Each structure stands twice: as structure tokens, then as C-alpha cells.
Amino acid sequence: MAASTNIAESPVLTCCAPLKVALAGFGTVGSAVAKILCSSQAAKLELTHVYNRDVARKRVSWAPAKLCWTERIDEVLESDVDVFVELVGGLKPAYDWVRSALERGKHVVTANKQLIAHHGPELAELAHRCKRKLAFGASVAGGVPVLDALQEGLAGDRLFRVCGVLNGTCNYILTKMEREGTPFDQALAEAQQAGFAEADPTDDVDGFDARAKLVILSRVGLNAVIRPEEILCDSIRSIGPVDFNYSRDLGCTVRQISRAELHEGRYLAAVQPALVPLDNPLAELVGGQNLVISTGEFGGDTVFSGHGAGGNPTAVAVVSDLLGIARLHPHNGQNGDWIAAPRYTAHADFVTPWYLRFVVKDRPGIVAALAHALAKHDINIDALLQKPGYDKSALPFVITLEACSALKVNAAIEEIEQLDFLVQKPLTLPILG
């Protein structure tokens, strides 16, 4: 059975008074949540506390006069609020605050993907013991209600695969490179100037942000508990304009793809740039949007897409979780879904066709040497592509492979990396079907 995003069972809330809500974090998302809570759209909810460092600079004129603004988190945790909304991000101190809130009898809503990916089962068990609810619908794909859809709308199916574009920063960068021929470093700098990338983009471009989301999707959609650090992460930093030129000749483009699959009792997962056929919905995604495709034994593919980040889309998901708590009814065993779910060890040994891009100092015998190394590992070449006009001292060309396992490809590449004609480390990308 798919796991619930509404982690823990709770008693029925019978009071007619609105739920008292506290926000920890008043940045882009927090202020957007507050605007909704202070509007007539959220009559069942009352914003009573806002915590933030240097809170005086965060005060806004549109908030109710009686709203408590504080720099002391204990003032929030010790108050009589019904729901604690954690929007500060990261593992510390968010983990300690969420634990304390649950132990003090408060429901918790969070958009913190890293917190749920690393500590979800533990916090779910605590919420269950405390008879409180831990909700995290905003932690994946922002304003796209994919977690609730997997939990509720597809509960009758047996899902075995989730695949998607889960990081808007990477998608913004890659689509800019695709459309304008921009090198990675320039595309990243422009994304930072436009507010689509952080000053330190490591979590985004190296795959760690998407990996945390994939852990949560796997838990909710595939009923699989996995440790984030076990999932392969490959960066998009090595992608260049030349890869879009060659991928276009193959009827594809390049996207950062997060995918997980249950196959014959094994859990396969990876976050990595990949070639995506142009007729695939993932290839059509542009800018900062997110898209998730779930695949079920009975229902086949279901696609969810929309804005994956930004204050307003994420705030909608947070308030939706709050309203879900406000109309709460007991569901026996709901929290047990997460706690009792099987734990898997992640592997990345997908069997797919492959794209290999080499940059070499040209000389006779290069293709023969590469073909020999691949053949030693029982790998069949599908095609060789070489465009004219490049400098022979740093000549890029591409070899595509017939479907084979990632383990075979990695073993062959490890051997190929020792060859002295290489100018750069080979780029290895899976080609999605």
C-alpha cells in the first residue's frame, strides 16, 4: 500500500475555533503562506506566531496586529498553537524543532525535503506515538500535489516506477543551454542573476536536492524506504552545448532525470543528466517547472506537472496540508504505512542504451581502441557521430551503445579513461526509452 503524506493519525478536531498556526521562517515561502492565512481563503486557520531571526525587519503591515513576532523559537514551541509550520529548511535546527513540536502535542507541516528524506521514518514514528500529524506535501514539486495524488488518487494501483524532472534550477539551466547554445558556467551565472539559482548551487546542479525528493517519492509511491546517500548523483556541470548538438541528431535533448524503480525485488535509483527523446513529456518541460511520471502495473503512466518552486506554488501546498489537518478524521494504521515499509539498498544498474561523448587529440586508431575496450565487456556499439569543424586537438565525437547494464558501461569507461588520447574525461549518459 502506498504511504500517506499525512504521516500520523490524530484525534478528531471537534472545536469550532480555527486552528492556531505558527510559522518558523518568514522568507519567500513563509510570507506567501502568511498572506494566504491572513486572507478569507483560510477561515479554518489562524496565524498566531511568526518566528524568524532578526524578526523586526520581517514585520509586514498587512498582518493582524495581534500576531506575535518573535526571535525566540521556544516562545513558539511553548505556546498553545495547534500546528507548527517549519519553513527554515536544512537538517539543523529544523530536526530538533520538529521533534520538540511533536513531543509538545503539536501537528507539524513542513516543506523541508532534506528533513523528510533523512529523518522521515523516525519523525513519523514519533508523530504516531504522540497522536499527531506530520504533513509534507510541499516537500516535492512545490505546488504540484504529486504526493497526495500518489497516495490517494493512485492507491488502487501497484506502482513500480517514478521518474521525473524534480529540480527547477537544473531545468532552467539546461533549457537555456539548449535554446541559446550557452555554456554551463554562463547559464548558471544567468540563472543566479535571475534568481533561479542559489549563490552556492551545489545541491541543485550536483543532484542532492532532487535526490532528497526522489527518496520521498519512493517512499510515498513505491512504498520503499531508502537512505539518500545510497542513491547515485551525477552533476550536470559536465554537460556542454556540444551535447545538445549531438542529442538533437539523435532525436533527443538533455535533462536532469530522477528515477526509481522496483524490479525483481531490487530498488534501482539514480539522479543524473540523461538523453530524453523529444516526444517524451520530460523533454518538453522548460524553465523552472517540474514533472513526475508514475508507472503502475494496472494504470500505466500518469503525469503530474507544474511549477515546482517559488513562494506562491509552495505556499499553496503548505496551506493545503494545513487545511487537511483542520478537517482531520482518524485513519487507523495510517502512520504505520511509513513505519512498516520495507527498507531497500539502492542500486543504479539500469539497463538502457547509452550516450558516450569523448574529447580526444585526434590520431589514427582511436575508434578501434574504444571499440576494443567496449567489446571486452560485451558491449555493442549502436552508432558513431562526428561533426566536422572542430579542432583536431580537442575533437568531440559520440558513440551510442545498445542497451546494456550500467555496471558494464562503468567498467569499460574505467578502462578507457587510461587511454592517452583523451583530452577530457568521457561523458556517459543514459538514453531514456
Pick the catalytic residue from 213, 361, 376, 387. Answer: 213
C-alpha angle 278-279-285 in degrees, rounded to nearest 5:
70
Q: Alpha-carbon distance 77 to 80, whole Å? A: 8
Q: How many other CB atoms are found less than 10 A from the CB of residue 105?
A: 11
E-assigned strand segments in 203-313:
232-233, 252-263, 266-277, 289-296, 300-307
Task: Kindly give the residue spans of alpha helices, DSSP state H, lying in 17-164.
Answer: 28-37, 73-77, 94-103, 113-129, 146-148
**Going by C-beta distance under 8 Å and a sequence separation of 6 or more, which residues neighbour residue 11?**
131, 330
Alpha carbon 188 to chain centroid distance? Answer: 19
- Tell me the three cell numbers of residue 306: 507544474
Nearest C-alpha neighbor of 142 from the set 289, 243, 273, 9: 289
Rg of the chain, C-alpha, whole Å: 24
Q: Is the dihedral of CA 214, 216, 219, 222 positive or negative?
A: negative
Contact in structure between 325 and 19 (CB atoms under 8 Å): yes
Q: How many CA atoms lie within 13 Å of 225's alpha carbon, on the beta-carbon side?
A: 16
SS3 label, residue 336: helix
Q: How many other CB atoms are found less than 10 A from the CB of residue 111?
A: 26
**Cell 561523458 appears where?**
427
Nearest C-alpha neighbor of 341 from the set 199, 215, 200: 215
Contact in structure between 405 and 430 (CB atoms under 8 Å): no
CA separation (Å) from 342 to 229, 265, 266? 17, 11, 12
66 is catalytic: no
Q: Alpha-carbon distance 51 to 35, whole Å? A: 15
Report, as residue numbers or ranges, the catalytic residues.
Answer: 213
